[in-house]
Amino acid sequence: MSHHPDSTRLNKAISDNGYCSRRQADQLITQGVVTINDQVAQLGDRVMPGDVIKINGALLSAPSEDVYIMLNKPVGITCTTDLSIEGNVVDFIKHPQRIFHVGRLDKPSEGLLLMTNNGDIVNKILRAGNLHEKEYIVYVDRPISENFLKRMRTGIPILDTVTKPCRVERISRMSFKIILVQGLNRQIRRMCEYLEYDVVRLNRVRLMHLHLGDLPLGQWRDLTQKEVNDLKATIADSDNSPFADHDAD
């Protein structure tokens, strides 16, 4: 079936706008709350530039400039867009655009969190597989042994699976650096607990090619144009179908 070259799938138009993910858009369409030019939309509908899309009667505004923010998340801030949760990251940043986090950092973890209003890019990053490297500095409650490093590198049984081999280096007597590409729920804490170590502090210092650098705790900045270009280049081949992912803190 041929489509007008300028037409876009409705769910993509809603997701590109930054309103929600494609999957969530499909749910809204199924619920009958999305209209195109005041006609109730159906799944699979396509829209043309100039079509008026409304959700629950409210106009889907024209997509604004893409926002890409790096936050140095403090301990105690929760990665959620649910504004009823105290200490949620959206209220913490107070950005004029509607932005959401890419992956997540647990409430007791700190460090680099990427936020954006570009719904499409979120799934692409989470699906970027081996390119989606996350680097953490971890402080534990007792001296690190060679056996601990070796076990952490080769794989630990948690959550009914075994963690993938990963890069682990000792930094000091009680701290180490770990680079992961997978993101099991509370992965690093669970790995350490399995070896009878407690995580005292967990700090994400890098996501893919984005480095936290000297960004002060609790502060955020827009990504540079080069960082955005590199990000888009890295994930250019990544699939953007929906994907459930936790980050590994």
Residues 30 and 116 in one domain: no
Q: Which helix (H) or strand (E) holds 100?
A: strand 100-102
> Facing residues of 73 across strands?
111
Predicted confidence (pLDDT) per residue in 30-63, tens digit = 999 999 999 999 999 999 888 899 998 888 865 5
Q: Which of 30-34, 44-48, 64-68, 149-153 has the lowest mean pLDDT?
A: 64-68
For residue 197, give the CATH number of its domain.
3.30.2350.10
Alpha carbon distance 134, 102 (integer Å): 12
- Boundaries of domain holding 20: 8-59
**How confident is residue 121, by pLDDT bands cut at 50, 70 and 90?**
confident
The two beta strands, 53-55 and 100-102, are unpaired
Is a pLDDT exceeding 80 seen at residue 165?
A: yes
Strand partners, 9: 46
SS3 call for 200? strand
Are 104 and 44 part of one and the same domain?
Answer: no
Cα end-to-end distance, the chain, whole Å: 46
pLDDT at res. 84:
93
Query: What pLDDT is attached to residue 210?
Result: 96
pLDDT at 216 over 90: yes
Is the pLDDT assigned to residue 114 strictly greater than 90?
A: yes
Average pLDDT over residues 183-189: 91
As a whole number, mean pLDDT of residues 157-168 equals 95
pLDDT of residue 61: 67
Dist CA 53 CA 39 (whole Å): 9
Q: What angle do CA 114, 204, 176 make, to 5 degrees?
A: 165
Q: What is the mean pLDDT of the chain?
A: 90
Phi–psi pair at 96, nearest 5 degrees:
-65, -30
Instruction: Pull the structure tokens for residue 233.
Output: 């280049």
- Is the pLDDT score of 104 beyond 80? yes
Per-residue confidence (pLDDT) for residue 72, from 0 to 100: 98
Q: Are residues 89 and 190 in the same domain?
A: yes
**pLDDT at 120 (0 to 100):** 83
Is 1 domain-assigned?
A: no
Our count of domains for the chain comes to: 2
Q: How many CB atoms lie within 10 A of CB 206?
A: 18
- My answer on whether 78 and 184 are in the same domain is yes
* Average pLDDT estimate for 230-235: 88
The listed range with the strongest mean pLDDT (100-104, 164-168, 237-241, 243-247) is 164-168
pLDDT for residue 188 is more than 60: yes
Residues 75 and 49 in one domain: no
pLDDT of residue 75: 97
Active-site residue set: 106
Are 107 and 155 contained in the same domain?
yes
Residue 103 lies inside a defined structural domain of this protein: yes
Give yes or no for residue 130 having a pLDDT over 80: no
Average pLDDT over residues 197-209: 97
Looking at the chain, list the stretches that DSSP marks H as alpha helix, in order from N- to C-terminal side: 10-16, 22-30, 89-93, 119-126, 146-154, 187-194, 225-234
151 and 213 inside one domain: yes
110-146 residues labelled b (16+ CB within 10 A) or e (exposed): bbbbbbbbbbbbbbbbbbbeeebebbbbbebeeebee
Per the CB < 8 A criterion, the answer to whether 178 and 136 are in contact is yes
